Amino acid sequence: MNEPHITSVFDRDLEAVQAHLMKMGGLVEAAILDAAKSLETRDEELAAQVRRNDRQIDELEARVNEEAARVIALRAPTAIDLRTVLTVMKISSNLERVGDYAKNMAKRTGVLVQMTPIEDSASDIRRMAKSVELMLKDALDSYIHRDDALAHDVRQRDREVDQMYNALFRQFLTYMMEDPRNITGCMHLLFIAKNIERMGDHVTSISEQVIYLVTGEMPDDARPKEDKTPYMAEPKG
């Protein structure tokens, strides 16, 4: 479906709205990496920057929605064009949520840098953030190249993020039981880990949108879920 439309303004409009989406994606990827980096390197200034930059992401989301509404009103898109516009709107709202989670990480980092670091948990979290960022990068690539196989792959990888979250959950539980003075820090770290786990879910949803865009159908198999924390009790021993 790469032939241009006879009316070239249609192509320009579609490209413009997708260009906004890709710019948004780039900012969100950077926000995830910077938030995790600021936590590990205890860089308060970088954390503050992540919090400030979230506004740009929000503005782009508004812009994408506005332009998408315009394309629907003026061009009456059908078939692949309609799926493109619908997908753009959903992906932009997923990206905006991911951006919010990164901002929330950066807020908690502002508190955590005032406290004694808890073992090497910050680098574990950064690893987890890195794998979500990679998933997001691949999800956006799969969108650009209309590559549903890559989108399926991204969707499967969310399982790994869930597993990292389970491990961190146990780890923080243990630290808190060992020493109640760890509780405040660990609570913040746990929320950060949860934020990253949620980011993974949003990225999964983006890759499902790509599958819908390319094939016209949402994937119907149940997505593999590995988040076991709802069932976790106190560790024994």
Partner 1 sequence: MNDMRILERDVHTKATKIKGDKVQVYYGENHAIKDVDIEIEDNTVTAFIGPSGCGKSTFLRCLNRMNDTIDGCRVKGEITLDDENIYDNKVDPVQLRAKVGMVFQKPNPFPKSIYDNVAYGPRIHGLAQNKSELDDIVEKSLRRGAIWEEVKDRLDAPGTGLSGGQQQRLCIARAVATEPEVLLMDEPCSALDPIATAQVEELIDELRANYSVVIVTHSMQQAARVSQKTAFFHLGHLVEFNETGEIFTNPRDPRTESYITGRIG
* 16 near partner 1, rule: CB under 8 A: yes
Of the candidates 2, 3, 45, 73, which one interacts with partner 1 according to CB under 8 A?
73
Give me the residue label for tokens 């919010």. Answer: 100
* 9 near partner 1, rule: CB under 8 A: yes
Q: Judge contact between 107 and 171, C-beta under 8 A.
A: no
| Interface segment toward partner 1; rule CB under 8 A; list 31-39, 72-80, 112-120, 167-175 | 72-80
* 23 near partner 1, rule: CB under 8 A: yes
* 10 near partner 1, rule: CB under 8 A: yes
Q: What residues from 131 to 170 belong to the interface with partner 1 (CB under 8 A)?
A: none
* 8 near partner 1, rule: CB under 8 A: yes
Give me the residue label for tokens 């930059």. Answer: 53
Rounded to the nearest 10 degrees, the angle between the axes of helix 79-112 and helix 121-144 is 170
* 5 near partner 1, rule: CB under 8 A: yes
Of the candidates 43, 44, 63, 146, which one interacts with partner 1 according to CB under 8 A?
63
* 69 near partner 1, rule: CB under 8 A: yes
* 75 near partner 1, rule: CB under 8 A: yes
Of the candidates 62, 76, 115, 144, which one interacts with partner 1 according to CB under 8 A?
76
* 52 near partner 1, rule: CB under 8 A: no
* 30 near partner 1, rule: CB under 8 A: no
List, as one string, the DSSP characters of the chain. --SPPSSHHHHHHHHHHHHHHHHHHHHHHHHHHHHHHHHHHT-HHHHHHHHHHHHHHHHHHHHHHHHHHHHHHHH---HHHHHHHHHHHHHHHHHHHHHHHHHHHHHHHHHHTTS---TTHHHHHHHHHHHHHHHHHHHHHHHHTT-HHHHHHHHHHHHHHHHHHHHHHHHHHHHHHH-GGGHHHHHHHHHHHHHHHHHHHHHHHHHHHHHHHHHSS---SPPP----GGG--PPP-
Please give the size of the binding site for partner 1, defined by CB under 8 A.
22
Q: 158, 157, 138: which is closest to 148 by C-alpha?
A: 138
* 11 near partner 1, rule: CB under 8 A: no
Q: 60, 62, 57, 37: which is closest to 47 by C-alpha?
A: 37
* 70 near partner 1, rule: CB under 8 A: yes
Residue 73 or 222 having the CB closest to partner 1: 73
Residue 8 or 114 having the CB closest to partner 1: 8
| Interface segment toward partner 1; rule CB under 8 A; list 8-16, 92-100, 112-120, 193-201 | 8-16
Residues in touch with partner 1 (CB under 8 A): 5-10, 12-13, 16-17, 19-20, 23, 60, 63, 67, 69-70, 73-76
